Structure 1
Amino acid sequence: MKLIDQIKIEEDLLLEVIKNIIYLVQKKNNYLVEVFVKKTIGSTVNIRNNIVENIEFNNDSILFITIYNKFSKGSISSRDFSTNSIKKMLNIAIDISKHSSSDFCIGLPDLELLCFNANDLDLFHPSEINIKDGINFASQVEKEAFKFDKRIINSEGSFFSNHININIFGNSLGMLEIYKSTRYSAYNCMIARDNNLMQRDFNYSISRKIENLDNPKKLGQTTAKRVISRLGARKINTMKSPIIFSNELSSSFFSYLVSAINGNNVYRKSTFLLNDLKKKIFPNWLNIIENPHILQGLGSKPFDNEGVKTTVKYIVKNGVLKTWLLNNYNARQLGLVSTGNCGGISNWLVSHQNISFKNLLKYIKNGLLVTELMGQGVDIVSGNYSQGAMGFWIENGNIQYPVHEVTISGNLREVWSNILSISNDIDIRNNIQCGSILVSEMQISGK
């Protein structure tokens, strides 16, 4: 059976499951329901030194049911979609709702917020690629990296994965919508040695369409170039200096903002940005737009995990924080309206100043280019930030030598306000798409 036919059968079966659940709840008085089903089909091939280490197959489904009993609720999830299991789940969820405390913020989203007739965002591009093809792809990536330089002595592994997701949401208000997506990814990590000192580095590619992945030669050679460039890494002295976060780190750099403006942290008063809505937290020129409707976007989706339609909106405009990220519950806690962010953000587009990365380097007389971070050293309550880092030392706008075993630190409020520029080398491999970021000064702790 062709893959596309298999997916259609799975889709029809899941739709019937949700319809049946809604029907069973409608037969009971005083209860409302929302149902979310996610199915993942795919495989991942892991190899190392041209030997297949493992092959993972996915054919997983999970069913989430939430019963609303006036201002209380009961939630349950299961991987068993049988009729008997569903009836037991409904009884358990109803029983939980009867014994839960009342909260006037609990309930289904308002009807006008829900997504009906979901837009096709061109996320679904299934391929008949098989396990053998995946092994060949990952093996070729590794071979290309080994061929690049004799100083590359070992591999930490390569993988190729392809997955299909089916997302279906329905509720008692008449919403029943579906969207499907595909995701292909490839990864490679190599080890190089020079003068008995070793370094590692990696590279990856990810796309909705298999033909948009980097080819094995490019992926392997890029990994090789990166790991060779790390050889001879030095420690540097403790100091304060300008820092550039490379484009592949920019998503993590702004992910701290995602946490700081998350509605759960806001209504619980556990964020350092609690009093900063409608206030300036970035330079005047910086904008962040969330666009969930980019065709083939890695973060694109027509509705969130509560069925609320997603919308294009400013997160930051001219440096000013414009919105929190709200689901239905925490929006009501704050007296606001859901922003369609239950389950996380969609595509964030961070503005840049239309300069190249090469020109961004020219801003620095002496400073650090950070290309890898380690640890989770961010306190969202205080905004204090500290992470281990590796990268390259810059002098007079030119990269001089690799650097390791340093820690960079500061307070996010100050770091964000000290952004001098962002280059146009945008990394599109993440939900947050941004170029390399130049910060005027941060603390570097070295030797």
Structure 2
Amino acid sequence: MKKAPSPLVQAPSTPAAAPASSHEPLAGFQYARSQFEELVDLALSHAKQLGAADAAAEVSEGAGLSVSVRKGELENVERNRDKSLGVTVYLGRKRGNASTSDFSPAAVRQTVQAAYDIARFTAEDPVAGLPDPEDVADTYTDLDLFHPWVITSEEAMHIALACEAAAFATSRKINNSEGAGVSAQQSHFFTAHMRGGERGKPGIFSGGYASSRHSLSVAPIAGKGANMQRDYWYSSQRAPQDLATPEAVGRYAAERTLARLNGRKIATTECPVLFESPLAAGLLGAYVQATSGGALYRKTTFLNESLGKRVLAKHIDIVEDPHQINGKGSAPFDDEGVRTARRKVLSAGKVQGYFLSTYSARKLGMRTTGNAGGSHNLTLTSRLTQPGDDLRAMLKKLGRGLFVTELMGQGVNYVTGDYSRGASGYWVENGEIAYPVQEITIAGNLKDMLLGIEAVGSDAYNYGAKTVGSILVNRMKVAGS
């Protein structure tokens, strides 16, 4: 689907960069950076007065607009605005945390007092504490993450209506809709640490930035009765001018829905399974969860003690790049103020690094990887992939088997790796789609599935903070009729 600016999708009328003065709120916000700094200063100063040497405080604000339509009529208009101040106090190896949405000085002091009292009566944790000074991001660059969308509810409604209308115009068989929606969201924050009663020195973190995320989606319906089918499509970007056109989103969603008509069950079998690229991102997400610190130190993962071991097919690499300009998963530092950096987390199928916060790293006797809060811009690639390995070529590689385009239910046991999900998609014969299938279940074990990746397509798709092409797994169980 072409990502072209739409006449209806207007570029922001205010600059993406912060204004010259931090004393004025950014577009769409009520609070300025300087006000956030004052609130953090008040919180940390009060923590010091109470006797805490180490503490952290963060202030954030979010704002947005969501508009939905259905069958040519406006359904909902929602505006959200939220704010929060969180305080963490350390008394030696004791930790207390409290938060509030009240920014009055009295409320800030009460919140600090609550965090302090919690720390006093909490059991000691030998690994609790601020990140080590050598891991802190003393400086960081602007990654161009803030692109406010100055849009009215009426303008958003017209975009959503155009998207749904394009779906209906694709075919007379599109006879209903679950609706179309437009969302414009933005937020900003500031956080700072106090270490040994001091602030604003190297190794003592302070910083923050603004970010945005906008989206457009539609879910058309075709057919009637038992042959009724639905599908959807969407576009999500940090900058509104990068969104796909409403017409393109609507048309593609309709084409996906039409392709599912006259779906049938298939007999229970074992066969290769090709995961469409958006679903392949879910396999990458499963790998991330299985190699994340919390699961590792609790030993609740099927990839426990996997560092240096081959856990994916030997032609697979995974790279994390937190510093992509305008990236959906970009971050100059993690949720603890630890610097982030580009790294290869998996090479030739072997685990090169985990996803660790300061706390989980200490529990494992390791060093933080700057992943407090999650992973950043992951890309999974295969050394076997050729430029011409688009979806059509991947179907040829599949030959005879199942092409999955939708998964339902959770059905993943991260302790054992057992995987069982409801699915729908298409049966493929001789490298060509034969017919749509529905009401089936695919099952296997993630250990075998990851090692059994035979190919990755060049049809790379960015799903949030993950980019991957379609993935072909050599064999899975398919439960049908």
The question of a shared fold, defined as TM-score above 0.5 by the shorter chain, is answered with yes
Equivalent position of 2:133 in the other structure: 111
Equivalent position of 2:466 in the other structure: 432
Aligned residue runs from structure 1 range 362-373, under 5 A: 362-373=396-407
Aligned residue runs from structure 1 range 242-261, under 5 A: 242-261=272-291
Aligned residue runs from structure 1 range 77-156, under 5 A: 77-156=99-178
| Letter of the 2:171 counterpart | D
Distance 1:196 1:247 in 2: 28
Moved more, 349-358 or 106-115: 349-358
Distance 2:114 2:42 in 1: 17
Equivalent position of 2:194 in the other structure: 172
Which of residues 223, 247, 266 is equivalent to 1:236?
A: 266
Distance 1:136 1:119 in 2: 37
Q: Give yes or no for contact 1:229–1:402 (8 Å, CA) kept in 2.
A: yes
Distance 2:251 2:283 in 1: 27
Q: What's the secondary structure of 1:444's corresponding residue?
A: strand
Equivalent position of 2:20 in the other structure: none
Which of residues 290, 295, 315 is equivalent to 1:265?
A: 295
Q: Give yes or no for contact 1:157–1:189 (8 Å, CA) kept in 2.
A: yes
| Letter of the 1:401 counterpart | Y
Which of residues 436, 443, 446 is equivalent to 1:409?
A: 443
Equivalent position of 1:393 in the other structure: 427
Q: Give yes or no for contact 1:205–1:213 (8 Å, CA) kept in 2.
A: yes
Q: Give yes or no for contact 2:300–2:415 (8 Å, CA) kept in 1.
A: yes
Distance 1:326 1:299 in 2: 16
Equivalent position of 1:441 in the other structure: 475
Distance 2:229 2:157 in 1: 26
Distance 1:151 1:82, change over 3 A: same
Distance 1:128 1:266 in 2: 43
Q: Give yes or no for contact 2:318–2:380 (8 Å, CA) kept in 1.
A: yes
Indicate whether 1:34 and 2:64 are aligned.
no
Indicate whether 1:203 and 2:233 are aligned.
yes
Moved more, 4-13 or 432-441: 4-13
Distance 1:115 1:237, change over 3 A: same
Equivalent position of 2:92 in the other structure: 70
User: Could you report, residue by residue, the CA deviation over 1:238-262 in whole angstroms, capped at 9, with x for unpaired residues?
Assistant: 0000110001111111111121111
Moved more, 349-358 or 103-112: 349-358
1:11 to partner: Cα distance: 2.6
1:379 to partner: Cα distance: 0.3
Distance 1:141 1:426 in 2: 24
| Letter of the 1:359 counterpart | A
Q: Give yes or no for contact 2:278–2:462 (8 Å, CA) kept in 1.
A: no
Aligned residue runs from structure 1 range 179-218, under 5 A: 179-193=209-223, 197-218=227-248
Equivalent position of 2:326 in the other structure: 296
1:9 to partner: Cα distance: 4.4
Could you tell me the TM-score, scaled by structure 1's length? Answer: 0.97
Q: Give yes or no for contact 1:67–1:74 (8 Å, CA) kept in 2.
A: yes
User: Could you report, residue by residue, the CA deviation over 1:86-106 in whole angstroms, capped at 9, with x for unpaired residues?
Assistant: 111111111110100011100
Q: Give yes or no for contact 2:329–2:375 (8 Å, CA) kept in 1.
A: yes
Q: What's the secondary structure of 1:428's corresponding residue?
A: strand
Identity %: 34
Q: What's the secondary structure of 1:171's corresponding residue?
A: strand
Distance 2:380 2:209 in 1: 26
Equivalent position of 2:395 in the other structure: 361
Moved more, 381-390 or 56-65: 56-65
Equivalent position of 1:60 in the other structure: 82
Distance 1:154 1:28 in 2: 62
Indicate whether 1:310 and 2:340 are aligned.
yes
Distance 2:120 2:453 in 1: 51
1:12 to partner: Cα distance: 2.5
Q: Give yes or no for contact 1:326–1:338 (8 Å, CA) kept in 2.
A: yes
Q: What's the secondary structure of 1:17's corresponding residue?
A: helix
1:195 to partner: Cα distance: 7.7
> What root-mean-square deviation, in Å, do the aligned CA atoms of Structure 1 and Structure 2 show?
1.6
Moved more, 363-372 or 191-200: 191-200
Q: What's the secondary structure of 1:232's corresponding residue?
A: coil
Q: What's the secondary structure of 2:209's corresponding residue?
A: strand
Distance 1:94 1:196, change over 3 A: closer
